[in-house]
Amino acid sequence: MPEILRVLIVEDEESDAELAARELRRAGFQPVWNRVETEEAFLEHLGRSYDVILSDNRLPQFSAAQALSHVRALGSDIPFVVVSAAIGEEQAVALLRAGAADYLMKDRLSRLGEAIRHALEQKRLREQAQAAQDALRRLNEELERRIAERTVELEQANRSLAHELAERRRIEHVLRQSEAELERRVARRTSELKQSQERLRSLASELTLTEERERRRLAGELHDYLAQLLVLGRIKLQQIHQQISDQRAAAALKEVDQIFHDSLDYTRSVMAELAPPMLQEFGLASALCWLAERMRTHGLTVEVITQAVMPKPVEDHTVLLFQSVRELLFNVVKHAGTSQATVTVGCTPKGELEVTVEDRGCGFDPASVAMGHAGGQLKQFGLFSVRERMEAMGGCMMIESTPGCGSRIVLRVPCDPPEQAPDGAANRAAAHDDAGESKVPVIPLGQRPARVLLVDDHAMVREGLRRVLEHYDDLTVVGEAADGWEALEAMRSVRPDVVVMDVNMPRLDGIAATTRIKQEMPNMAVIGLSVVNTESMQEAMRAAGAAAFVSKECAASELYQAIQTALSPPACNGGARNGVTEPDR
């Protein structure tokens, strides 16, 4: 069905306006147009809603330059296309610099439809880019507001604590007036202080966990919405870029694509600062390796040593342990006077998780930590705070340090018993494999298009990937799934040759789903896909059995080649695809 196009034509010749309208109809539009030839009529129509303005360069009483100046003076973004019988190159360049979308000669109107579509697409891209910038600005403002509120709360808590300490000194002075009264009041006050300390410790831990949950929520919002929209925008831009032959248009698209790329990188950075993905996806050991890499930017080289098998701490304990280790490493940066540290993660004979942070710096007096001081200065989130966190979790902190000889700090927390795989899992996988074997006829891959299953929890991303793959005759998308469990069911029913698997999904993530798929069907190719394209994420997907890993933002240009590589004979023989490298970017 032709696309309705509302056009304002600035032309003194009725026949020329009719020719332009006819050319628009030939290009697939259904033009609804009005013609004006004077400045007064143009200004009267300018207040109405139009999709595009076509203007002759010179009219008896008006000109395209005047019309364009009126459009820009009103702040309108309506595409303005100059159509003229004769126009000099310098005048055409001046009109383009003034804001005209394009110019055409009247004897070459065959390009009018393409020029209109290009101008409308540019307008749409500008609006999308502005919307993305506005969303980022609002998120930054909200984050700053929350930080300011949290700062005020902490200052109030500090004032309250200072007031309580002053009151305690006053009471202790009064108690010294009478020995008998001293013993009674000390006992009562000691009990009150212990309860208060437990409450403060619990509140401090809850405050830390609440802050972390809020950070995770904000990071999740960024990942699930803004990052996905930016990825989809890049996919769309790359598809459009392949269809544009005009060099200037291609350059403009490349600039917009770079804006999307920079926005996506910034979004990833904000997500990592709010909630490290390694901690959520892969646990404490991987998160500590990620933290070690981040500490290099602060001038500290950190070696992480982990045991092959480690107990699994409670989820909230994992968060507090990670924050404690990060605080200890920052203490090394600020106070130890060394550029190297070691973090060791292991298990005690009692089954406790033990994390040790060591350095060979200047050391300190451990006795000062008992009062929450080191070097005579209060550390806001120092060793005293870390000790409180450990005790709130039912664990402990041990300090070994001597001035001039470095320090060794050990954190211990209780852990959950290791999880056991349910009996019969292998038999159920075999039953699924046998039950689904006959649902799809077995036809050699070379005699039919390769069957692709798309797995992503965002419908708009799946639709974008489907549109990318529909351009290839040797591929066919046979199904879609929104999480790992749906992917397993779809895999058993449609029997794809390759599964394009998102990593971060609800219920069952892409890494766990890939592991199950490779257990049931070792020869099935899986390609990992994610907004978060860190090396650890790629290695985790390959360890689960994925043949390759592609960043979502590069899907339009790299996904097809990755599929071809995964399905090539060396990758298919024997079902060993872990050696397949990611396509060159």
Contact 77, 100 (CB under 8 A): no
Least confident of 11-20, 29-38, 150-159, 549-558: 549-558
- Residue 73, class by beta-carbon neighbours within 10 Å (0-12 exposed, 13-18 middle, 19+ buried)? exposed
| Residue 328, phi-psi category: left (phi > 0), alpha (psi -120 to 50), beta (remainder) | alpha
Closest CA to 246 of 94, 117, 133, 392: 117
Token pair for residue 425?
A: 């899992």
Global pTM?
A: 0.43
Please state, in angstroms and rounded to a whole number, the distance separating the CA atoms of residues 254 and 314. Answer: 47
pLDDT at 369: 57
Query: Which residue is associated with the tokens 């954190």?
Result: 411
Pick from 311, 379, 389: which is nearest to 345 by CA? Answer: 311
Mean per-residue pLDDT of the chain: 79
Q: Are 23 and 112 in contact (CB under 8 A)?
A: yes
Rounded to whole angstroms, the Cα distance separating 158 from 265 reads 37
Q: What does the pLDDT read at residue 420?
A: 41
pLDDT at position 447, please? 66
Among candidate residues 155, 188, 186, 154, the one with its CA nearest the CA of residue 172:
186
CA distance 23 to 243: 21
CB 327 within 8 A of CB 367: no
Q: Give 484 or 387, the one with higher predicted confidence.
A: 484
With a cut of 50, say whether residue 572 has pLDDT above it.
no
Does the pLDDT value for residue 376 go beyond 50? no
In the three-class reduction of DSSP (H, G, I as helix; E, B as strand; rest coil), residue 101 is classed as coil
Q: Is the per-residue pLDDT at 499 higher than 90?
A: yes
Q: What is the pLDDT of residue 444?
A: 58
- Residues 345 and 352: their CA atoms lie apart, in Å, by 11
| 3-state secondary structure labels for all residues of 444-469 | CHHHCCEEEEEECCCHHHHHHHHHHH
- Between 67 and 182, where is the model more confident? 67
Q: Taking 70 as the threshold, does the pLDDT of residue 56 lie above it?
A: yes
Once rounded to an integer, what is the mean pLDDT over residues 118-143?
89
Question: Looking at per-residue confidence, does 541 or 212 come out higher?
Answer: 541
Q: What's the pLDDT score for residue 391?
A: 79
For residue 534, the model assigns a pLDDT of: 76
Does the pLDDT of residue 265 top 90, yes or no? no
CA count, 13 A, side-chain hemisphere, 244: 21
At residue 314 the predicted structure's pLDDT band, cuts being 50, 70 and 90, is: low
The 8-class DSSP code of residue 502 comes to E
* 200-239 residue pLDDT tens: 767 776 777 677 777 777 877 777 677 777 777 777 777 7
Q: Of 63-67, 377-381, 384-388, 465-469, which gets the smallest average pLDDT?
A: 377-381
504-533 pLDDT, tens digit per residue, is: 888 888 888 999 999 988 888 999 988 777
Q: Is the pLDDT of residue 271 over 80?
A: no
Q: What is the 3-state secondary structure (H, E, C) of 279-319?
A: HHHHCHHHHHHHHHHHHHHHCCEEEEEECCCCCEECHHHHH
Predicted pLDDT at 117: 87
Identity of the residue numbered 303: E
Question: Which H/E stretch holds residue 103?
Answer: strand 102-105
CA angle 547, 552, 558 (to 5 degrees): 60
Taking residues 302-316, report their average pLDDT: 74
Interatomic CA distance for residues 35 and 14, integer angstroms: 8
pLDDT value at residue 330: 87
Range picked from 279-283, 375-379, 415-419 for highest mean pLDDT? 279-283
Please report the pLDDT score of residue 281 as a whole number: 65
Side-chain-facing half-sphere of 360: CA atoms under 13 Å: 5
- Residue 126 has a pLDDT of 84
- From 219, 229, 16, select the one nearest 134 (Cα to Cα): 229
pLDDT in tens, 426-475: 343 444 444 444 344 555 566 688 889 999 888 888 888 888 888 888 88
Q: Could you tell me the CA-to-CA distances from 147 to 142, 277, 341, 476 in Å, in that order?
A: 9, 21, 30, 49
Evaluate if residue 300 carries a pLDDT over 70: yes
Average pLDDT over residues 25-51: 88
Average pLDDT over residues 26-32: 89
For 498, the 3-state DSSP assignment is strand
Q: What six digits make up the tokens of 17?
A: 């306006």
pLDDT tens profile 334-353:
888 888 899 998 888 887 88
What is the arithmetic mean of pLDDT over 9-33? 88
- In this prediction, residue 422 carries a pLDDT of 38
Is residue 275 predicted with pLDDT exceeding 80? no
